[in-house]
Amino acid sequence: MVSKMKRLLIGRPMKNSELEGEKLSKLKALAVLSSDALSSVAYGTEQILIVLMAVGAAAAWYSIPISLAVLGLLVILIFSYRQTIYSYPTGGGAYIVAKDNIGLSSGLLAGGSLLVDYILTVAVSSSAGTDAITSAFPVLHDYRVLIALTMILLLTILNLRGITESASVLALPVYLFVFAIIVLIITGFIKYAMGGAEPAVPVEWGSAANNVSLFLLLKAFSSGCSALTGVEAVSNAIPNFRAPAEKNAAKTLIMMGSILGFMFIGISLLAYWYGIIPSEKETVVSQIANSVFGRGTIYYIIQGVTALILFLAANTAYSAFPLLAFMLAKDKFMPHMFLVRGDRLGYSNGIIFLGVLSAILVIAFHGNTEGLIPLYAVGVFIPFTLSQLGMMIRWIKLKPSGWHVKLLINTIGMLTTLSITLIFIFTKFSQVWAVFIFLPLVIWIFMRIHRHYIHVADQLRINIQEEKLQIKGSTVVVPIGGITSVVRNSLSYAKSLTDNVVAVYVGFDDDSIHKMEEKWEVWNPGVRLITLKSSYRSIVKPLIKFIDTVEWKKNETDHITILIPQFITKHWWQYVLHNQTSLLLRAYLFRHKDVVISTVTYHLDK
């Protein structure tokens, strides 16, 4: 039943050899990897305007230079990451670049920061998508958490089905969104140029607004920078690209950058020209669409695809998280389970882990995860900075042809991202302080896991030239509760292995022990019976004491086998009807003794 459900939801299992078919073409990669970055268009301009409005509407014109600054930063990031892609064709996430060039701790800092960030992305995006839905249908407001969780569940299932299939499903909304926004921008430009846009007049360029401090401008700039989160997704995911992976990845990155830059600056200009002021009740994009098209079909299409892409932004994390977890697991900083490809060749454990953790966040915050946005932005810029720094060190070390230009690009990148990180921390400390708790914690966990794996490997390693098998004698102890077919079966097995077999019976009174001994004599299986009397009604404790004695007496070179007769009921619910002595005994021995624990199963027919 469970396995049928799984087939239905996830699809048939795929062979290893089908892996290449799962890789992404440029266009599909754009859909899968850019929804996070592109969706920023829906709120980037708005974030800037909200900060500026704090000092009055006259400051609105500052949004244009700030947007240009963000655009400049985007260009810097795109060029920096293009260099990373060519240097790390097997996948150059911040973790790899920082680890390779700066050192392990920086790598872990970048990796841990990104891992937590992907979880935040899913939680924040699914909540934002839900808000878009409940804005359109207010009756659904009470079901916010449920809707967000359903979205997370859907994304998880989609990603478990495999990358290509989810790309096919996700491509359409992304393309629709890009198309819709471009149509909006072009129509808006034309309408403005023809002087047809006069519901509101833009504030004059260069108007003197009061109280515009540097702090405010920096805060507005850093808010606008949240539009840049998601740009790193391409360089993390190079192994998912079809060959030649690095070229395709670089082209995809440039495509994404161009589209994002065009849309972002376009929306900012329209917002300025149409004199739009951010409002609690209506988003900036919605106001622009309203001004340009009025509340008609086109307006609702734009709103619909915007809601959809906000929701799909979470999908970027679903591509990036499992890959990063895989790389950390390969280096023994995360559990091995993140190494395993599932039935559909995705790293299922990473996908499920991401889904569960973000679902927990959504539940914990009752679907109001907006407060996490700055935390999530700072969590992106830390690895950005480390990655750029790593590239700088790399150029200085390797000195390839033209390395001065490359170093310059990455240096500019590093300085800007570092500045933004610091601006975030200084202007929004009350919202991002948690980063100083969870990052050290995550890194500490990485270290503990790593140490454990190293210890285990040390203990398991043998010298195959010298350490051969050691043949020893064997003592088999069979705990019995009576003379039954299961006991007969177990003793037959034990006697087949060795003559050194002891049956142990635990009785609660002299009477039952005496009866057992008499019956044993009649049966006469050729096995010595030891009877123990338990004063405390426990079967396990006297048995363990007896096993201790056997262990103590045994020849140094003897194996001890505890052979547990066990019948298996036909239906699982019948299991509770029988006492779980053997389970307790097995659990105890498992943890505490270096013995062999054997179970002779005997399946009942009815």
The DSSP call for residue 204 is: P
Contact segment (CB under 8 A) with a copy of itself among 31-39, 261-269, 365-373, 518-526 equals 518-526
The residues, ordered by sequence, that sit 6+ positions from 79 with a Cβ below 8 Å of its Cβ are 409, 413
Distance of CA 15 to the CA centre of its chain: 24
Q: Is residue 583 within the footprint of a copy of itself (CB under 8 A)?
A: no
| Whole-number Å distance between alpha carbons of 464 and 252 | 49
Cβ 479 vs Cβ 562: under 8 Å:
yes
CB of 363 to a copy of itself, least distance (A): 21
Region 107-126 residues binding a copy of itself, contact defined as CB under 8 A? none
Binding-site member from 4, 281, 397, 468 for a copy of itself (CB under 8 A)? 468
**Spatial CA neighbour of 208 closest among 398, 27, 56:** 56
CB of 566 to a copy of itself, least distance (A): 8
| Whole-number Å distance between alpha carbons of 292 and 307 | 19
Burial class (CB in 10 A: 0-12, 13-18, 19+), 67: buried
CB of 427 to a copy of itself, least distance (A): 39
Binding-site member from 198, 282, 370, 509 for a copy of itself (CB under 8 A)? 509
Region 315-374 residues binding a copy of itself, contact defined as CB under 8 A? 335-337, 340-343
Region 9-28 residues binding a copy of itself, contact defined as CB under 8 A? 13-17
Amino acid at 275: G
Q: Is residue 475 within the footprint of a copy of itself (CB under 8 A)?
A: no
Q: Is residue 453 within the footprint of a copy of itself (CB under 8 A)?
A: yes
Taking phi first (over 0 means left), then psi (-120 to 50 degrees means alpha), and beta for anything else, what does residue 341 get?
Answer: beta
Q: Is residue 600 within the footprint of a copy of itself (CB under 8 A)?
A: yes
Contact segment (CB under 8 A) with a copy of itself among 126-134, 241-249, 295-303, 447-455 equals 447-455
Contact segment (CB under 8 A) with a copy of itself among 55-63, 115-123, 207-215, 535-543 equals 535-543
Contact segment (CB under 8 A) with a copy of itself among 63-71, 187-195, 362-370, 453-461 equals 453-461
CB of 181 to a copy of itself, least distance (A): 41
What CA dihedral angle connects 164, 165, 168 and 173, to 10 degrees? -110
Where does 137-194 have alpha helices with state H?
Answer: 144-161, 163-193
Residue 360 or 408 with smaller CB distance to a copy of itself: 360
Residue 211 or 557 with smaller CB distance to a copy of itself: 557
Residue 397 or 606 with smaller CB distance to a copy of itself: 606
Residue 370 or 499 with smaller CB distance to a copy of itself: 499
Burial class (CB in 10 A: 0-12, 13-18, 19+), 529: middle
Q: Quick count: other Cβ atoms within 10 Å of Cβ 415?
A: 15
Q: Is residue 491 within the footprint of a copy of itself (CB under 8 A)?
A: yes
Residue 295 or 472 with smaller CB distance to a copy of itself: 472
| Whole-number Å distance between alpha carbons of 159 and 164 | 9
